[in-house]
Amino acid sequence: MRGKVIYKIIIAAMFICSVYILIVKGMPIPGKNVWNNEEIVEEDGDNGEEEERKEESELRLYQIGEEVTFGSYTYKVNSAMESKEKGNFPAPTDYSKRYTFDESGNITGDDSYVVVNLTIVNNTKEIKELYLNSMALVVYKNNTTTECDYSECVSSSKLEGYGRKDYFRTDFEPSVEYTYDLVFIIPDQSLKTKRGRLVISRQDPSTRKEDEDKTRLVEVNF
């Protein structure tokens, strides 16, 4: 009997100490109500909506004038032309060991410029960085073979500071159309076919599945 009384005194003392700590020491009250088992839910300002990603265009061969959504961007080739004369872009003097130019930047050897006019739109809600020299052009050597001549982008309109390491690095504001002349150099013999393909490469970080889907092709005629 005496033991039961002592036990009750100990329980009462523990309860009083707990109340004292909560009130006097200012310790936080649990978020869960232990008396009725109701949970206190904190409101979250996030409405749970994720930014919608524009669906990528299917893997197929595209034509001039068609929009191609790939990664964070939508691309559209507006036109393509070949010329020996330098247009409204810096002469690609870094390539003078491979090609011959006059003092005005016109090509004097057995090659020509191919200028692809391309519009790009950033589909995200933030400024994105894109390297324009990630584009390439392949042109069939003749109409009966799959062999091609390949050219990386060697110059572009509307960019400043030709020769800088980051010359082709370009910032794209969200939802704004940017149009550039991308410049390639192809042997004249291959240009007789009058057809080639612009290669658009994925640049943003991608999933394993997307890593297996790295390019889109646009058929260009000049």
Backbone φ, ψ for residue 71 (5° rounding): 65, -130
Tell me, yes or no, whether 116 and 186 share the same domain: yes
Kindly give the residue spans of alpha helices, DSSP state H, lying in the chain.
2-24, 188-191, 208-211
What count of other Cβ atoms lies within 10 Å of the Cβ of residue 99?
18
DSSP designation for 9: H
Query: pLDDT tens-digit profile of 96-120?
Result: 999 999 999 999 999 999 999 999 9
Report the mean per-residue pLDDT for the chain: 82
Query: pLDDT tens-digit profile of 71-88?
Result: 999 999 999 999 999 999
**What confidence category does residue 205 fall into, taking pLDDT thresholds of 50, 70 and 90?**
confident
Tell me, yes or no, whether 21 and 96 share the same domain: no
Where residue 173 sits, what CATH number does that domain have?
Answer: 2.60.40.1240
Tell me, yes or no, whether 13 and 80 share the same domain: no
Tell me, yes or no, whether 12 and 82 share the same domain: no
Has residue 113 been placed in a domain? yes
Q: Where are the beta strands (DSSP E) in the chain?
A: 32-33, 38-39, 61-63, 67-70, 73-83, 111-122, 128-131, 136-140, 148-152, 155-156, 169-172, 177-187, 195-201, 215-221
Tell me, yes or no, whether 86 and 182 share the same domain: yes
Tell me, yes or no, whether 70 and 35 share the same domain: no
Q: Could you give the number of structural domains in the chain?
A: 2
**What confidence category does residue 212 fall into, taking pLDDT thresholds of 50, 70 and 90?**
confident
- Alpha carbon of residue 125 to chain centroid: 12
Is residue 41's pLDDT more than 90? no
Domain enclosing residue 32, as ranges: 2-39
